[in-house]
Amino acid sequence: MPNSKSDRRKTAVSAAPERREQLLATAAEVFAAQGYRATTVRRIADEAGMLAGSLYYHFDSKESMLDEILSGFLNDLWARYDAVLAAGLGPRETVEALVTESFREIDRHRAAVAIYQKEAKHLQTQPRFGYLADSQVKFEKAWLGTLERGVAERAFRADLDVRLTYRFLRDTVWVAASWYRPGGQHTPEEIARQYLSMVLEGITLRA
């Protein structure tokens, strides 16, 4: 237990990053539920059990909070996607790994995913959030490239419309953020296996 002013100061400094993460998690839930523009700093502070003025000790604006929430999610996503894309897997295995990592990210950043889906189109026109548009281009390129490679290598059907397939996979996977709750009946990996089974094998019995 800290027993001096110096000890107490060190404890406060070491606790600050953890408190920031708690506040960001609270803000993310409020943004996801209420929408960014409808959310006030006071509302976030109320949910965090603190005065609005105290929130400014950690963040200079709600825009800064949103920036950290979205950039943190995308940095995490791309660290995992890039590892998959660099692993030298076949097209099918790459799709399987990308879908699995996507569900893991929904588990880790469910509120951030919901915010991204609701707000990205508007936010990416603002200079501070220009990285959202860059990430979208990179995301599309990664998925389309994998699907095109699968067709070329005959891992996927020759008549596959890769752009339509990409949109189907994207929307089918990421919409799960609207209903998924961490700690539920199924793990992200179990959900990914079920989705992949339906996408890659279908739902009808073969004769």
CATH-assigned architecture of domain 1-60: Orthogonal Bundle (1.10)
pLDDT by residue for the chain (207 residues), tens digit each? 445 434 433 333 444 788 899 999 999 999 999 999 999 999 999 999 999 889 998 999 999 999 999 999 999 999 999 999 999 999 999 999 999 999 999 999 999 999 999 999 999 999 999 999 999 999 999 999 999 999 999 999 999 999 999 999 999 999 999 899 888 889 999 999 999 999 998 888 876
Give me the helix-helix angle, 91-108 and 162-174, nearest 10°. 30
C-alpha 120: how far from chain center: 12
Q: Which residue is listed with tokens 């996408």?
A: 199
Burial 161-187 (b: 16+ CB within 10 A, else e): ebeebbeebeeebbebbeebeeeeeee
In CATH, 62-207 is 3.30.70.360: no
Is the Cβ–Cβ distance between 29 and 47 less than 8 Å? yes
Domain(s) labelled CATH 1.10.10.60 in the chain stretch across: 1-60
What gap in Å lies between CA 74 and CA 78, rounded to an integer?
6
d(CA 178, CA 181): 9
Q: Which part of the chain is CATH 1.10.357.10? A: 62-207
Quick one: which of 159, 116, 155 has its CA closest to 139? Answer: 116
Nearest Cα residue to 108 out of 191, 16, 33, 25: 25
∠ at Cα 25 (20, 29), nearest 5°?
Answer: 145
Tell me: the pLDDT tens digits for 113-132?
999 999 999 999 999 999 99
Evaluate whether 37 touches 73 at the Cβ level (below 8 Å).
Answer: no
How many Å apart are CA 92 and CA 150, to the nearest integer?
7
To 10 degrees, what angle do helices 110-123 and 130-152 make? Answer: 110
What are the tokens at 155?
Answer: 């891992």
**What b-and-e string marks burial along 68-93, b requiring 16 or more CB atoms within 10 Å of the CB?**
bbbebbbebbbebbeebbeeeeebee
